[in-house]
Amino acid sequence: MTATAPRITAVDTYDIRFPTSRELDGSDAMNPDPDYSAAYVVLRTDAGDGLEGHGFTFTIGRGNDVQVAAINALRPHLLGRGVEELCTDPGLVNRDLIGDSQLRWLGPEKGVMHMAIGAVVNAVWDLAAKRRGKPLWQLLAHAEPEWLVSQVDFRYIADALTPEEALGLLRARREGLADREAVLLERGYPGYTTSPGWLGYSDEKLTRLARQAVADGFTQIKLKVGADLEDDVRRLRTARAAVGDGIRIAIDANQRWNVGEAIEWTNALAAFDPYWIEEPTSPDDVLGHASVRKGVAPVKVATGEHVQNRIVFKQLLQADAIDVLQIDAARVGGVNENLAILLLAAKFGVPVCPHAGGVGLCELVQHLSMFDYLALSGTTADRVIEYVDHLHEHFEAPVVMRDGHYTAPLAPGFSATMHPESIAEYRYPDGAFWAADLAGTEQAA
């Protein structure tokens, strides 16, 4: 306890990189050699309660330092701010950060600067949930609809969703919330796994991992496609043979194609009944996705992990361009903007199936899907959270999978907190791992 109201005393940032490119895991048609990384931020206070707010942007290696520089540029907006005010109304700091007119020029609301805002805003929510002693999903689901609506920035989306409509959606779903929470706590939230489907795996490994996924309780797997059509036909045939007809197989092109190619390529794989085609083309191309969707039905179109903000999601919905909306916890401007996106999806009746994987994305995004289930969608039908078994060991409260489901996290916060030992080891370039690695490289050179 301090005599005066507690304040934010430090905004510490860390450039953390894991050398994942040395294995083949995580490679796809656009990202052959990712080093899964986090531009990580810790908000410290003088509250004396030992609680910190943790957040991060996920990147895949080079440029993680740029992302850290962007978070550093936000520091003056946080330092000295009252902790209680921040945690009672994270929407306030969200608006301040987005509204900094000089920094806004660097987006607006997209790319490096916007992801930095997302990291900081998520750290505020982590702190808020820890102070309330609740996991974030529960804090959100138990919150009053009016307060949730106050957390949303309706600028540029009011033509598709008004505050009144948002309030109506939340109020309508209050009924049965306690029952759904009981179900969630018992069964968890369904996941699907991308682990079998990375490019570069042999057919034997693909078959083995696909069968393992089914044995583990998953009812959907995902395969990366888009590098070579013949290979894709063979791999999809192999996967279908391995899992049988009852399991959904999604395919993911990671933005590899033009619109015309996307339609042709997807249709060439249609015989194997792919459930959705993910990121068929540029995430910026709303009209392109609408054309692809018309051209590949009944295969569904999914996108979102690289969609920059609520404004593009709004248009994807307005243009009937997607069947599945894939939020990402660390791409847009944090929890507040994801609330807007979840509300938009509910308004348009499009299921949300989050992107995850990377480092820490599973940990974060499960909270948003669980809130979606309890407070907005009311169902988990046709809704799955991506799961990849990567790097969970670096988190204090890693996700726990059971029978293909994410179990509801009970630890207070947003599950964003990384072990101090992991930070010390993988901080770039001066953590123990990298210091040794870079010294070795220099010695070899």
Q: List residues binding its own copies (CB under 8 A).
A: 30-35, 59-63, 65-67, 69-70, 73, 100-115, 154-156, 158-159, 255, 258-260, 281-288, 291, 306, 308-309, 311-312, 314-315, 318-319
Whole-number Å distance between alpha carbons of 118 and 176: 31
Q: What's the token pair of residue 87?
A: 């945690």
DSSP label of 407: P
**Count of CB atoms within 10 A of residue 436's CB?**
10
Please name the residues in contact with 178: beta carbons below 8 A apart, sequence gap of 6 or more.
Answer: none
Q: Which residues pair with 17 in a beta bridge?
A: 37
Of 193, 205, 253, residue with least CA distance to 229: 253
Distance in Å, CB of 130 to its own copies, minimum:
29
Q: What is the DSSP letter of 411?
A: S
Does residue 421 sit in helix, strand or coil?
A: helix
Catalytic residue ranges? 224, 355
Which C-beta is closer to its own copies: that of 257 or that of 406? 257
Name the minimum Å distance from CB 321 to its own copies: 10
Instruction: Show Cβ contacts of residue 233 under 8 Å, excluding neighbours closer than 6 positions.
Output: 268, 269, 272
Select 7 or 110, whichever has its Cβ closest to its own copies: 110
DSSP 3-state assignment of 387? strand
> Closest Cα partner for 19 from 438, 362, 417?
438
Q: Which is nearer to its own copies, 26 or 412 (CB)?
A: 26
Q: Minimum CB separation from its own copies for residue 261, in Å?
A: 8
Measured between alpha carbons, how far is residue 311 from residues 69, 161, 333, 429 in Å? Answer: 25, 11, 12, 36
User: How far is the CA of 227 from the CAs of 230, 231, 239, 253, in angstroms?
Assistant: 9, 8, 17, 8
- Closer to its own copies at the Cβ: 117 or 136? 117
3-state SS of 108-146 is: CCCHHHHHHHHHHHHHHHHHHHHHHCCEHHHHHHHCCHH
Which CB, 156 or 433, lies closer to its own copies? 156
CB-based contact 51:130 (threshold 8 Å): yes
Smallest distance from its own copies to CB 266, Å: 15
Residue 344 CB, shortest distance to its own copies, in Å, is 13
Q: How far is the CB of 188 from its own copies (least distance, A)?
A: 29
As given in the structure block, the two tokens for residue 437 are 């690695």
Nearer to its own copies, 63 or 244 (CB): 63
Q: How far apart are CA 351 and CA 220, in angstroms?
A: 15
